[in-house]
A = this chain, B = another copy of it.
């Protein structure tokens, strides 16, 4: 099977851009990735664009702005995993031999819906009765705290760490560090979550250029290899099993490690899906970064800080970098590639060689049906 490498990354700072169109958001990220790869746009053979709520033909609208209209363009929707799923389609397309160079875009404009939780699909009766994302994750947090004596202060440390990292990231939406006391004193959202434990609403775009690995050095001397690309789905209806175990992430992690021939002990840096504070802790355990039930102690020890054992969410994660749904997976991959290249300045993870990105979600009307997409990168 052919190998795939990343040769270009692009990202706009995440934030609120109510006056920009989806195309306005996307094309600068694409241009940056093209420039970063030092590639002629005509070499790009196909594009996959991930967006969850961007409407029809997002990729075509964006690429129309940069004159890349003649290539096959496919838009991919998989809730919070939209652009990581797009990345996986691009990986598969290059591995198959169909293309050598493929563009991946992630884009979302959430400000068009106003603030707060996302618009609901009426057909999901659980959501229509109030089981929106913050409530769902809050139930998981409650159960975890019941099972494992996680303290509210430990839970708040996720926001403290990720805000600290975000303050070092010029592309992050939230750049102000916060203390445990500030996190716990912020507005209650869904007990035990306060406002600062929920990812913000925002807009953003990210792009990557992928290339068949043998050709990659034509463009850059430091291509980053994609060692694993895994997509899983499954039910995660609360109640049908232990809601403190993110089953699809556990399964996906196992598959991704197998594909890469690597284990958690080899991961230097990870961008995981910290949509709410508890999420990051559950994923530490799902990825084997620490033992079951010990995630609170793990973060408290500093093990997941930038200079810790495994740097988790050095970008600031969803909590600080922001979470424009469809842009998230691509943006995570951009961060990992830049970390492995040593381009991350103040938030650089020392000597990062192996990185992991993880986007998982269930969609507006999809609490019943989760999706999880994991990539492992090596240099």
Contact = CB atoms under 8 A, between A and B. Distances in A.
Contact of A61 (B56, B70, B92, B369): B369
A85 interface: yes
A56 B365 contact: yes
B77 A121 contact: no
A75 B74 contact: no
B73 A75 contact: no
A60 interface: yes
Contact of A233 (B69, B88, B362): B69
Contacts of A233: 60, 69-73
Contacts of A56: 52-53, 77, 79, 121, 363-366
B55 A364 contact: yes
Contacts of A369: 57, 60-61, 63-64, 69, 73
A254 interface: no
B92 A368 contact: no
Interface in A314-359: none
A97 B95 CA distance: 10
Given A57-B366, A366-B60, A69 B234 contact: yes
Contacts of A23: 123
A232 B70 contact: yes
A203 to B, nearest CB: 13
B72 A231 contact: yes
Nearest to A63: B369
A78 B57 contact: yes
A288 to B, nearest CB: 21
B74 A78 contact: yes
A95 B368 CA distance: 31
How many copies of the shown chain assemble into the complex?
A: 2
A11 interface: no
Contacts of A96: 92-93, 95-98
A110 interface: no
Contacts of A92: 92-93, 96, 98
A264 B253 CA distance: 48
Given A92-B92, A97-B1, A98-B96, A74 B231 contact: yes
Contacts of A85: 74
A97 B88 CA distance: 15
A121 B53 CA distance: 12
A187 B97 CA distance: 51
Interface string A86-110: 0011001101111000000000000
A69 B55 CA distance: 25
Given A61-B369, A371-B57, A70 B234 contact: yes
A362 B60 CA distance: 9
A85 B78 CA distance: 15
B235 A64 contact: yes
B235 A69 contact: yes
Nearest to A47: B233
Nearest to A99: B92
Closest 3 CB pairs of A and B: A96-B96, A60-B369, A57-B366
27 contacts: A22-B123, A56-B364, A56-B365, A57-B78, A57-B364, A57-B366, A57-B371, A58-B77, A60-B233, A60-B363, A60-B366, A60-B370, A61-B123, A61-B365, A61-B366, A61-B368, A64-B369, A69-B233, A70-B232, A73-B233, A73-B369, A74-B76, A74-B78, A74-B88, A89-B89, A92-B98, A95-B98
